[in-house]
Chain A
Amino acid sequence: MLVLLFILFGAMAIGCALAVVAQRNPLYSAISLIGVFISLACLYVMLAAPFIAAVQVIVYAGAIMVLVVFVIMLLNVEEEEHRRTRLRFLVPAAVALAAVLIAEVTFILVSVQQSRVVPTSSVSDTGLTQSIGSALFTQYLLPFEITSILLLMAIVGAMTLARRGGLLGPRDQAKRD
């Protein structure tokens, strides 16, 4: 049963990920990416991590992708025009690199399979919100605070970058014109 679910959601994730790369319209890519996020959330539930699954749906499929779709529609991006000739070599290069990466992953998996690690499949409270929260606010308090500072910097940086006058601000822009 779990194997069937894994195959279902894994195939869904890989198919949607291929669609992200294959689509020419960025909006269709974004919607395929939401499919990847949803199927990964299902896999997280299978891995006994319900909190991470909920955060995945809310933060990734909700907040971040809404932001991306908003920007795509704001900038009114049309489909990619035909690729210029000098960049043709990138597709075979990408395929070769992908083959190398897959070969590395296969090698690691084969060597892992030979040294069998038996997973402890007993039910525990590892993925529950309570254990994550208590670890986050006691042992890992410093990374948590640093993350909040990072978010503050991101807010200020995004506002500075996207404001109308550019980096210098409207007053300096007017002086420069």
Chain B
Amino acid sequence: MEPQLSWYLALSGVLFTIGVTGVIIKRNIIAMFMCIELMLNAVNLTFVAFASFFQDVTGQLFVFIVMTVAAAEAAVGLGIIIAIFRNRETLDVDDASILKL
């Protein structure tokens, strides 16, 4: 018996749900950021599973582009985190709820 497509989709759904839960309950902005990365990876797993089971390379190309976007997001997001910390001396999202720095 081989692993089915639905197994991978279930695993991806569980990982995505854990990521959503983390974004909701975490207060540290870096921890929220890491939970967002977790959600991106869950979606990537879905793409790779479909690409593998349907023998289509497009899904893997999309994963490649998602990874690039995640890298750009990491650079800009961490820049924003550093700017927030420099201005407010905290990483709690509730202390940075006003957009103005």
Which of A60, A124, A131, A135 counts the most chain B CB atoms within 10 A?
A60
- Given the complex, which residues of A lie within 8 Å of B6, measured CB to CB? 109, 112-113
- Given the complex, which residues of B lie within 8 Å of A153, measured CB to CB? 72
Give the Cβ gap from A69 to chain B, nearest Cβ, in Å: 10
Number of inter-chain CB pairs below 8 Å: 231
- Who on chain B is nearest to A150 by CB? B72
| Binary interface encoding of chain B residues 46-75 relative to chain A, with 1 for a CB under 8 A from any of its CBs, else 0 | 001101111111101101110111111111
- Interface positions of B from 7 to 63, Cβ below 8 Å from A: 7-11, 13-22, 24-28, 30-31, 33-35, 37-38, 41, 44-45, 48-49, 51-58, 60-61, 63
Question: Chain A at the B interface: mostly helix, strand, loop or mixed?
Answer: helix
A139 to B83, CA, bound (A): 40
Partner of B78, one of A67, A77, A155: A67
Partner of A94, one of B16, B21, B38, B48: B21
CB–CB B52/A127 < 8 A: yes
CB–CB B67/A157 < 8 A: no
CB–CB B71/A59 < 8 A: yes
A74 to B30, CA, bound (A): 12
What class of interface size applies to chain B in its complex with A? 35 or more
CB–CB B21/A95 < 8 A: yes
CB–CB A75/B82 < 8 A: yes
Partner of B2, one of A2, A93, A124: A2
CB–CB A158/B79 < 8 A: yes
Give the Cβ gap from A157 to chain B, nearest Cβ, in Å: 5
- Interface positions of A from 122 to 167, Cβ below 8 Å from B: 124, 126-127, 131-132, 135-136, 140, 143-144, 147, 150-151, 153-155, 157-162, 166-167
A12 to B10, CA, bound (A): 15
- Given the complex, which residues of B lie within 8 Å of A44, measured CB to CB? 45, 48
- Given the complex, which residues of A lie within 8 Å of B19, measured CB to CB? 17
Partner of B45, one of A43, A75, A119: A43
Task: Give 15 new A-B contacts, CB below 8 A, not counting A14-B14, A47-B8, A97-B20.
Answer: A2-B3, A29-B31, A33-B34, A40-B44, A47-B48, A52-B64, A67-B78, A75-B30, A90-B25, A98-B21, A105-B10, A120-B54, A132-B57, A136-B61, A143-B65
Query: Which B positions have Cβ atoms within 8 angstroms of A?
Result: 1-11, 13-22, 24-28, 30-31, 33-35, 37-38, 41, 44-45, 48-49, 51-58, 60-61, 63-65, 67-76, 78-83, 85-87, 91, 94, 101
Closest 10 CB pairs of A and B: A154-B72, A105-B13, A161-B79, A94-B24, A21-B22, A158-B79, A47-B52, A162-B79, A158-B75, A6-B3
